[in-house]
Amino acid sequence: MEIRLRVFRFQPEKDQRPRYDVYTIETDPTERILDLLEHVRGDIDGSLAFRRSCAHGVCGSDAMRINGHNLLACKVLVKDLGTSEITVEPLLGLRVIKDLIVDMGPFLEHYKSVMPYFINDDIPADGKEFLQSPEQRARFDDTTKCIMCAACTTSCPSFWSNTEYVGPAAIVNAHRFIFDSRDTGAEKRLEVLNEQFGVWRCRTAFNCTEACPREIKITQAIAEVKQVLTSGKLE
Amino acid sequence: MTQTHVFDVIIVGGGGAGLMAALNASRTAKTAVLSKLYPTRSHTGAAQGGVGAALGNLEEDHWEWHAFDTVKGSDYLGDQDAIDFMCQEAVQSVYDLEHAGLPFSRTPDGKIAQRPFGGHTNNVTKKPVRRAAYAADRTGHMILQTLYQQCIRNGINFYDEFQVLDLLLQDGVTAGVVAVELATGELHVFHAKAVVFATGGHGRMWDITSNAYAYTGDGVAVTLRRGIPAEDMEFFQFHPTGIYKLGILITEAVRGEGGVLFNDKGERFMERYAPSIKDLASRDVTSRAIYLEVKEGRGIQGKNYVYLDIRPETVNLYAEKDGRTNPDGSPYRVTAEEILAKIPDIADFCKTYLGVDPVKSPMPIQPTAHYAMGGIPTDKYGQVVVDAQNTILPGLYAAGECACVSVHGANRLGTNSLVDLIVFGKHAGLKAAEYANGADLPVVHGDPADFARQQIDRLMNGSGKEKAANLGRELRKVMSDDVGVFRTEEGLASAVEKVKELRERFKEVKVGDTSKIFNTELLNTWELGNLFDLALVTAVTALERKESRGAHAREDFPKRNDENWLKHSLAWMDGGQIRLDYKPVVITKYVPKERVY
């Protein structure tokens, strides 16, 4: 089938403002959007810049706006879009550096602010694993899936209006530890999330949940953190 | 403008091996990680099924059994002292990961869950053993995330999106690296006493591959250009179960959980190739079986794929036939829900890319280029050794897929890639720091960025007669046609000539993008040059090795030949010529014998 691919272009060394380049491409409906971008860069215009690596939805490099939705370019097939008009743009809310590449710096700073790491240095006396029941393990399974692609945070209206908000991805990564029965750092993380730009900025728009390519129930995870802050009880 | 930095230890690569090295080196030495990707994008994150360690959480197991299975899996080309070391260390390393927070799946009594995997056996009964410690089917993701998280906690210095182009050596001693910062296009010189390469594999030279775009063999290519040999490059693993046409990995854990391979006639063909262990034979054996089924016309609808079937009715039927039991002795039976809970990501891949629900329909699969057994030669502490006498190059280390210790020999067992990177990543980091703390910083004579700049200039100023994308396609075709699962003298000889021709034509490539900021065309073209160099070494060493062993299967030399070929190859690149030498395999207690599954 023939498709019209409109790509957001911004080349900081020569462009004053962004433009859209249009490529007419003959393609198979089962091709990934990433395949189209690779084709453009390899065969038509080498200057097109985008990030990618694994090409099957696990590394999180290629989150971008595709026909207005935050998606991984490697996880969307042409046929999934149901149209031959395809527009590809960078994520919103982060500074565009070049074409589809955005500055991930602020996103990573928010991530780091919630202490996204396991805290418990009191390892079992026998040197073996901390015991954790399958039920305790299941409690935080959903939020272990995050690949830090930023699709959620950059789809959040609260983040767009104030990028000091830690954003859904950081809360997801805090949730992953807060609800891990082995971890001892919940109190400190909850303190951070209870601050002005913490969890209360969430207005439950559900954009994040819709945007997550890993199908993490993000809004629910955020609600669970709010619940702990309200009740003061970790369950 | 070239910026200059000084560190004790530089780690090149932010995947599992690099982050393990960083966590360990940074305890005592000033350390930085340079990675061309954000570390969490690294390909370790794509590993699925598990990490092997004889924890014995569900049944009797011993690290010695793991070691023997690894030796056998390697087709006796693995160095047995290093394999013993790895399998012994694996147990503590898995506990270390758990203590760092890794969310392993759990047994009913709260321990780390373990599952069967190809080639891992109870050495007495010869039956599959539950040895692969796992976190659903995203074990690599959890390892990568856990290590990165601990790096954040420990304040590791990261230079993200820095591509290393050159290794600095001064008077035979490691002196640092030169890298380009992708965001600015500027060169940076990192002076360092020790350098650890942890740059991953090079499976992007084949058409059907499970490997990330980033897997272009950068570390091996950089060291080759600096006169360091590459070891055992003829051995590259083709994983039996990649998604048809796309090559995306379907973990061996699918077969560990009871999945079965079928040909077009509905035969469970692995019964013929591996009567005792069947669908859980090691990867080289299974890939060849699929290739032969297809070649003999028994691919599905005559095409070049077969089915992998994990539907509960299939699993239960064959579990009953095989007499498979649970740890408590009850018959092994599964439901669709249980399967989906154990392989959620696989189910997601199948739905996304094939429109297939794996508990309702079988998955079309074909062998996919997967893992480099060969790489930068090291000893078991990650120290790079540069000749057949194992002479150490002071200050240089390598770990993970880019290294060849060798623990995988001619064929790697499933789960052992993760074992390799946690064990050797750790020890390379420790050794690098120990060395750096006793060494002076070498003074580099001349302009250290010279060679890196020359490489960029050449790519920017070519004639433009050739297009990199076309040459890449030609490379992948010749490697797939002639340097794949089965090989012949004729095919390999023509592949060597073709790759030489492509390397010549590559000199006529010109990068069209003249910008400095995120010039990804320049990066991709440089990476393609690495693949050309490694492809040439692979084809030449494969042509030279006149036997079949592990992943290197010669139709014209179908038998293993221990008399002449029980040895590691070493290849140097002198300009466009490859020079070869060989070194003995370390054999301690496992005498080579025929490999039967």
* Both tokens assigned to A83: 């149209």
Q: How far apart are CA B27 and CA B485, in angstroms?
A: 43
Same domain, A126 and A15: no
Same domain, B316 and B387: no
Domain total of chain B: 3
Q: Which domain holds residue A85?
A: 2-102
Dump pLDDT digits (tens) for A172-228: 999 999 999 999 999 999 999 999 999 999 999 999 999 999 999 999 999 999 999
The strand pairing partners of B181, in sequence order, are B162
Same domain, A80 and A168: no
Q: What is the pTM of this model?
A: 0.97
Chain B residue with the nearest C-alpha to that of A118: B101
Sign of CA dihedral B133, B246, A151, B33: positive
Number of H helices, E strands in chain A: 9, 7
Boundary of a domain, candidates A102, A119, A149: A102
Q: How many CB pairs under 8 A join A and B?
A: 158
| Chain A (149-188) residues lying within 8 Å, Cβ to Cβ, of chain B | 176-177, 180, 182-183
Same domain, B132 and B253: no
B328 part of contact set with chain A, CB < 8 Å = no
Q: Which domain holds residue B358?
A: 238-369
φ, ψ of residue A5 to 5 degrees: the values are -105, 115
Is B569 domain-assigned? no
Q: What is the CATH number of the domain that holds B259?
A: 3.90.700.10
Provide DSSP, B410-461.
TSPPTTHHHHHHHHHHHHHHHHHHHHHHTSPPPPPPS-TTHHHHHHHHHHHS
Q: How far apart are CA B534 and CA B499, in angstroms?
A: 10
| Chain B (338-357) residues lying within 8 Å, Cβ to Cβ, of chain A | 345, 348-349, 352-353
Boundary of a domain, candidates A83, A102, A121: A102
Q: Using the predicted structure, report yes or no on whether residue A233 has a pLDDT greater than 90.
A: no
Contact B153, A183 (CB under 8 A): no
Same domain, A216 and A123: yes
| Chain A (30-69) residues lying within 8 Å, Cβ to Cβ, of chain B | 30, 41-43, 45-61
B283 is catalytic: yes
Same domain, B101 and B186: yes
Sign of CA dihedral B584, B589, B591, B595: negative
Contact B593, B576 (CB under 8 A): no
Same domain, B318 and B401: no
| Residue carrying structure tokens 């100023």 | B461
B516 part of contact set with chain A, CB < 8 Å = yes
Per-residue model confidence as pLDDT tens for chain B (597 residues): 799 999 999 999 999 999 999 999 999 999 999 999 999 999 999 999 999 999 999 999 999 999 999 999 999 999 999 999 999 999 999 999 999 999 999 999 999 999 999 999 999 999 999 999 999 999 999 999 999 999 999 999 999 999 999 999 999 999 999 999 999 999 999 999 999 999 999 999 999 999 999 999 999 999 999 999 999 999 999 999 999 999 999 999 999 999 999 999 999 999 999 999 999 999 999 999 999 999 999 999 999 999 999 999 999 999 999 999 998 899 999 999 999 999 999 999 999 999 999 999 999 999 999 999 999 999 999 999 999 999 999 999 999 999 999 999 999 999 999 999 999 999 999 999 999 999 999 999 999 999 999 999 999 999 999 999 999 999 999 999 999 999 999 999 999 999 999 999 999 999 999 999 999 999 999 999 999 999 999 999 999 999 999 999 999 999 999 999 999 999 999 988 999 999 999 999 999 998 888
Q: If we measure between CA atoms, which residue out of B366, B507, B391, B372 comes closest to residue B17? A: B372
Contact B117, B130 (CB under 8 A): no
| Amino acid in the structure at residue A26 | E
Q: If we measure between CA atoms, which residue out of B81, B13, B6 comes closest to residue B397? A: B13
Question: How would you write B554-572 as a 3-class SS string?
Answer: ECCCCCCCHHHHCEEEEEE
Boundary of a domain, candidates A58, A84, A102: A102
Same domain, B72 and B184: yes
| Residue carrying structure tokens 């599905």 | B300
* Both tokens assigned to A192: 């951070």
Q: What is the CATH number of the domain that holds B463?
A: 1.20.58.100
User: Which of B106, B213, B349 comes nearest A53 by C-beta?
Assistant: B213
Same domain, B346 and B387: no
Is B595 domain-assigned? no
Contact A134 B149 (CB under 8 A): no
Contact A50 B520 (CB under 8 A): yes
Q: What is the CATH number of the domain that holds A137?
A: 1.10.1060.10
Contact A147 B141 (CB under 8 A): yes
Q: How far apart are CA B9 and CA B21, in angstroms?
A: 10
**Count of other CB atoms within 10 angstroms of residue B88:** 17
Same domain, A95 and A115: no
| Amino acid in the structure at residue B561 | N
Contact B168, B446 (CB under 8 A): no
Same domain, A50 and A69: yes
Is B28 domain-assigned? yes
Active-site choice (B283, B487, B549, B595): B283
Which of A128, A180, A189 should be substituted to probe chain B, the one whose Cβ sees the most B Cβ atoms within 10 Å? A128
Same domain, B216 and B301: no
Same domain, B407 and B361: no
Q: What is the CATH number of the domain that holds A92?
A: 3.10.20.30
Same domain, A201 and A167: yes
Chain B residue with the nearest C-alpha to that of A129: B95
Same domain, B406 and B487: no
Same domain, A6 and A88: yes
B520 part of contact set with chain A, CB < 8 Å = yes
Same domain, A22 and A124: no
Q: What is the CATH number of the domain that holds B422?
A: 3.50.50.60
Same domain, A216 and A117: yes
Contact B584, B377 (CB under 8 A): no
Q: Which chain A residues have a beta carbon less than 8 Å from that of B96?
A: none
Is B578 domain-assigned? no
Same domain, A176 and A212: yes
Same domain, A114 and A224: yes
| Chain B (192-251) residues lying within 8 Å, Cβ to Cβ, of chain A | 212-214, 246, 248
Same domain, B217 and B155: yes
Which residues are CB-contacts of B412 (< 8 A; sequence separation ≥ 6)?
Answer: B73, B74, B237, B283, B371, B373
Same domain, B192 and B78: yes
| Chain B (247-306) residues lying within 8 Å, Cβ to Cβ, of chain A | 248
pLDDT for the residue numbered A234: 85
Which residues are CB-contacts of A80 (< 8 A; sequence separation ≥ 6)?
Answer: none
Same domain, A114 and A217: yes
* Both tokens assigned to A127: 């040197």
Boundary of a domain, candidates B369, B392, B417: B369
Which of B41, B182, B184 should be substituted to probe chain A, the one whose Cβ sees the most A Cβ atoms within 10 Å? B41
Q: Which chain B residues have a beta carbon less than 8 Å from that of A104?
A: 38
pLDDT for the residue numbered A17: 96
Instruction: Enumerate the H helices of B213-343 as residue ranges.
Output: 218-225, 253-256, 270-273, 283-295, 312-322, 336-342
Domain total of chain A: 2
Same domain, B44 and B157: yes
Contact A54 B511 (CB under 8 A): no
Contact B349 A140 (CB under 8 A): no
Dump pLDDT digits (tens) for A42-76: 999 999 999 999 999 999 999 999 999 999 999 99
Q: Which chain B residues have a beta carbon less than 8 Å from that of A44?
A: none
Dump pLDDT digits (tens) for A77-105: 999 999 999 999 999 999 999 999 999 99
